[in-house]
Chain A
Amino acid sequence: MTKLLFQRAFWRGALSVAIFLVLWEIGARSKVWMAPEYFAPFKDLLGAMGFKKDYLPWVGAVPAPSAVLKSWIAVLGMHGYWQSWYMSFFRVMGGFIAAMLIGIPFGLMLAVSRVAHGIGFPVFEVLRPIPPLAWVPASIIFWPTQEMAIIFITFLGAFYTIVINVLGGARSIDVRYFQAAQSMGSSSWDIFRRIILPGTLPSIVVGSAVGMGITWEVVVAAEMISGGGSQQAGTGGGLGFFIWNSYVGGSYEQIVVGMISIGIAGFISSELLRWGGRYATPWLRVR
């Protein structure tokens, strides 16, 4: 940790965040500092472009970081906020783990067996381009509970990416590894266990990392559209619903709080995954 504080890269990152926050604060307060007369020509120009005249377009309409921070601190003590974290994490992990459990064996099967590829791949390729969000109405109708519908949609977000990566990874294993293993007397099962599986692991890690990102994108949208699942009133329906609820309630600071929360949640899950990936592929750590 102390080492981190002395690294130039760390301070560069901190500076970048600080500059961003300062510019945002200045922009958000444009209502105040744009009042004087000498801004008149600039305001007319904004008006001519169709914007409101008394603050900077877009950034002037966003709540200032100081206001967001204040609102965040207020929300930290609320049970509903943490409930939203919990709900979203639960759905992401549920969908993601299901996608791994089904996607990895399915991808390996497509890679290993010509028959499985012939039967499974065409259907898979037709379903793959359908965006997970297009499944929202259908899954709300077909799944018995809202919760299952949302988890199913997050599952779809990660599933296709994981399968495609596993399939590609297994296919790109150097043919000489198979030839060497065969020559030395390996059985098919042995080749699968000791060549194909470890050879595909790096692709599984990459596919999962990408899939995890998509999962967060999808869960938030699914929560917004489906109304946050079956829960008591308030902000207990996940971070996506937290944002939507704040919008309906007119609390613009809380919208931004929700957005940043999702950013942090996504970062935490990717970091966990990266850590797990490094642990699973020790031979790639040594470069």
Chain B
Amino acid sequence: MSGLAPVRPKIVPGELAVEGVSKSYGALHFRKDVVQNCSFTIERAKLTVMVGPSGCGKSTLIRLLAGFEEPSAGRILLDGAPVSGPSRDRLVLFQETALFPWMSTWDNILYGPRARGELTRETLEFGEFLLAKVGLQDFRDKYPLQLSGGMQRRAELARAMINNPKVMILDEPFRGLDAMTKELMWEYYSRLYEENRRTNFFVTTDIDEAVFLADRILVMSNIPTQVRAVIEVDVPRPRKLIDIFENDRANDIKKQALSILHAEAMRSFSRGSKAAADFVEAYLKRASRA
């Protein structure tokens, strides 16, 4: 594969700034504030992971960042310029697969360049390179339904990366995979990130996933969503899976994040949130195991 290396185009990572963003649905007394005066930065060439209890408005934030919806207030800036509408600069990897079922792996990967009429020789070579990178050369002509869950996620990574997005947004991409495949995907994805150092924004509910992958962790509050804490994960790379169980620093970070999430969950638990109740239950189970 070393012969293919020169075709890799230069990657220009971007920086996304969220400034005082609010989003609400409905009107008058049916109004529901999902995101309220939320500010954070997704730093350039870093892997930022957002963790928060389920139903805390993370998916809403992603729709805002991707430009599928407009914020009710505040603004979102990519490298200083306000974002408007969906764009190849900010690509989303959705929960579960969003590969087009009627296209082969290869056609899925080439979707972006073909849509923009950029199907040059270099793009095709880059596509070949990515196909090899995600280890799907033997599955080039297979349909998504013929791929396993892990393969689908990798094909989708390739489909996004061929567009050279300035920011990659991943919405719980490894949800629904079995534990084994999930851990393999963590290792695979973090190796990929260490190689290319794009700006990545990764959303999850899994604290282990967050600690293993992240440069920075944003711990979110319950609805209406705000950032509760920003934790720098200074565990050296490349990381090994065993680190998240044995590395003291990783465990400290995990405890720190969990206690914030727990406090957050307890607060809304007293307000009767189902999501919070689930979280508290999961937290107690984890605590008894540790």
Contacts and interface: CB of A to CB of B under 8 A. Distances in A.
Interface of A: 174, 176-177, 179-187, 190, 194-195, 198-199, 201, 281-284, 286-287
Contact of B98 (A177, A190, A286, A287): A177
Contacts of B50: none
Given A195-B100, A201-B102, A283-B102, A183 B146 contact: no
B90 interface: yes
Interface in B63-99: 66-68, 85-88, 90-92, 94, 98
A287 B115 contact: no
Most chain B CB within 10 A, of A183, A194, A282, A286, is at A183
Contacts of B20: none
B163 interface: yes
Contacts of B88: 183-185
B224 interface: no
B40 interface: no
B116 interface: yes
**Which among A176, A187, A281, A284 has the highest number of chain B CB atoms within 10 Å?**
A176
Given A177-B98, A283-B101, A283-B145, 8 more contacts: A180-B94, A183-B66, A184-B116, A185-B88, A190-B115, A198-B102, A283-B144, A286-B146
Interface of B: 66-68, 85-88, 90-92, 94, 98, 100-103, 111-112, 115-116, 142-146, 163
A184 B98 contact: no
A270 B117 CA distance: 40
Interface majority SS (helix, strand, loop, mixed), chain B: loop
**Chain A contact residues, majority secondary structure:** helix
Contact of A176 (B87, B94, B112): B94
Nearest to A201: B102
A180 B156 CA distance: 11
B90 A176 contact: no
18 contacts: A179-B68, A180-B94, A182-B85, A182-B86, A183-B66, A183-B86, A183-B87, A184-B88, A184-B112, A185-B87, A185-B88, A187-B115, A194-B103, A281-B102, A282-B143, A284-B145, A286-B142, A286-B145
Given A176-B94, A201-B102, A185 B116 contact: yes
Contacts of A179: 66, 68, 86, 92, 94, 98
A282 to B, nearest CB: 8
A154 B58 CA distance: 52
A186 B115 contact: yes
A181 B115 contact: yes
A199 B103 CA distance: 11
A184 B100 contact: no
Contacts of B143: 282-283, 286
Most A CB within 10 A of own CB, among B85, B115, B163: B115
Contacts of B144: 283
A20 to B, nearest CB: 39
